[in-house]
Amino acid sequence: MIDSPAPELAVSGLERRGQGEPRVLAFVRGGLDHLSPEALRAIRAELRGLGAELVVVSPDGAWLLRPDDPVEPLAAAGDALAAEVAASAERFGVSAGDDAVFVIDGRGAVRFSYRLPPEAGGACARLASALAIAGRTVHARDRHDPRQRVLFTRREWTVTCLVAGCAAAFLSCKEQTHRPADRRPPPADETPPDLDVTLTINRKPHQLRIDPRTSLLDALRERLGMTGTKKGCDMGQCGACTVLIGGKRVTSCLTLAVMAQGKDITTIEGLAGDGGLHPVQAAFVAHDGLQCGYCTPGQIMSAVALIAEGHATSDDEVREQMSGNLCRCGAYPNIIAAIQSARRSRG
Ligand code: FES
Ligand code: FES
């Protein structure tokens, strides 16, 4: 099955999800029934390394896990789900009573499969170890032969879609304006033309002419001089570049600027009002929630959103919800104290 197209996974709730994204598919008896916070943290860390989402299916339910989002139930237990899971497992060659993990790349091909040993701990702990094995195997294979990359990263997938979209638009334009004898594909190395975009940042419109491959992060920092948003990994893994789009947290290094048109973008520069610092900014100062300060703008933007979402009800929940924002200085205890204090002062 390795390197061949993945069989169809016909589980209700999954039909239109994750098209073109790397995915880990896990058939796990008992599902996520005993998912501890430690196991969830371990699973999310592995998903972050793989740049993939995880779909867990079992007769007891189906769930979608992403590195930085709450666990999303997709389907509830029942005869219909049991039949769908059994049929899908058969297509993947998983016998009844077996647990197995499959890594499927952004092009829909199976790149790794692994049967979970039955004896080693609970289902969720076994799942976390299987993901760790998948991560090591996948990255070792990438290092050995980069041309055979196992997974598209989210960034690569976005850029690939954009380039494919530009190519399609270019070809359709050629079709309308040239005689059939003139039709030729564009040269492979042709740079896409610049685009005029208007970005609404901190309630003000900004007009830019940009390469359509420009990330929102680069548009902010390099084109608009808004350097409050930081560039850490530039790969979607550290959270330093977090901004809000429509009030939701996004990593701006993985967001194309053209995709943010027509939406309300809020950066760290837009938080403080006439009355002074935003309450979360003030709480970070009061609780000393920073050391070098490099991660701080991203931490604050995430904190603002998670408080607004009503997620910061316990320290554990704050840790979980902020797990996509890394701090090399380890200022975590003070960051949590600052967020809880800002939440309490909000009432
Ligand atoms: Fe965007 Fe690290 S710079 S997540
Ligand atoms: Fe230095 Fe977080 S305060 S990286």
Per-residue pLDDT reduced to its tens digit, 300-318: 999 999 999 988 889 999 9
Question: Using only C-alpha atoms, what is the Rg of the chain?
Answer: 22
* pLDDT on residue 150: 45
* pLDDT on residue 168: 45
174 confidence band (pLDDT: 50, 70, 90): very low
- In angstroms, the CA 175 to CA 181 distance is 10
Q: What is the pLDDT of residues 275-288, one digit of tens each?
A: 899 999 999 999 99
Instruction: Tell me which of 256 and 33 has the higher pLDDT.
Output: 256
* pLDDT on residue 101: 87
Helices 37-50, 123-144: crossing angle, 10 deg rounding? 20
331 confidence band (pLDDT: 50, 70, 90): very high
Least confident of 11-20, 94-103, 213-222: 11-20
What is the pLDDT averaged over residues 310-333? 92
Q: Supply 177's token pair.
A: 């304006």
265 confidence band (pLDDT: 50, 70, 90): very high
Atom of ligand 2 lying closest to residue 330 CA: 2
3-class DSSP state of 116: coil
* pLDDT on residue 1: 65
- Mutate which of 241, 294, 302, 332 for ligand 2? The one with the most ligand atoms within 8 Å of its CB, which is 294
- In angstroms, the CA 78 to CA 86 distance is 12
DSSP for 222-257, please give it: IIS--TTS--SSSSSSS-TTEEEETTEEEEGGGSBG
For residue 83, give the amino acid letter.
A
Instruction: Say how many Å lie between the CA of residue 229 and the centre of ligand 1.
Output: 10
Helices (H) and strands (E) in the chain, counts: 9, 11
DSSP for 43-76, please give it: HHHHHHHHT-EEEEEETTEEEEE-TTS--EEEEE
* pLDDT on residue 240: 97
* pLDDT on residue 57: 86
- Mutate which of 295, 334, 335 for ligand 2? The one with the most ligand atoms within 8 Å of its CB, which is 295
Atom of ligand 2 lying closest to residue 328 CA: 4
| Closest listed ligand to the CA of 221 | 1
> What percent of the chain stands above pLDDT 70?
80
291 confidence band (pLDDT: 50, 70, 90): very high
| Closest listed ligand to the CA of 335 | 2
Atom of ligand 2 lying closest to residue 293 CA: 3
216 within ligand 1 shell (Cβ under 6 A): no
| Closest listed ligand to the CA of 243 | 1
Q: Give residues (CB < 6 A) around ligand 2.
A: 290-296, 327-329, 331
* pLDDT on residue 239: 95
236 within ligand 1 shell (Cβ under 6 A): yes
Q: Decide if 297 contacts 271 (C-beta within 8 A).
A: no
> What percent of the chain stands above pLDDT 90?
39
| Closest listed ligand to the CA of 242 | 1
Instruction: Say how many Å lie between the CA of residue 293 and the centre of ligand 2.
Output: 5
Size of the chain, expressed as the number of residues it contains: 347
136 confidence band (pLDDT: 50, 70, 90): confident
231 within ligand 1 shell (Cβ under 6 A): yes
297 within ligand 1 shell (Cβ under 6 A): no
119 confidence band (pLDDT: 50, 70, 90): low
3-class DSSP state of 211: coil
Instruction: Say how many Å lie between the CA of residue 99 and the centre of ligand 1.
Output: 34
3-class DSSP state of 35: coil
Q: Supply 56's token pair.
A: 């867990």
Supply the pTM of this predicted model.
0.54
* pLDDT on residue 230: 97
Greatest mean pLDDT among 75-84, 105-114, 129-138, 219-228 lies in 219-228
Average pLDDT value for the chain: 81
Does 108 score more than 70 pLDDT?
A: yes
Does 327 score more than 70 pLDDT?
A: yes
146 confidence band (pLDDT: 50, 70, 90): very low
DSSP for 1-33, please give it: -TTSBPPP---TT-TTSSTTS-EEEEE-TTTTT
Atom of ligand 2 lying closest to residue 299 CA: 2
Instruction: Say how many Å lie between the CA of residue 230 and the centre of ligand 1.
Output: 8
Does 16 score more than 60 pLDDT?
A: no
* pLDDT on residue 167: 45
Contacts of 313 (CB under 8 A, 6+ apart): none
How many alpha carbons lie under 13 Å from residue 87 in its C-beta half-sphere? 11
> By C-alpha distance, which of 71, 69, 68 is closest to 324?
68
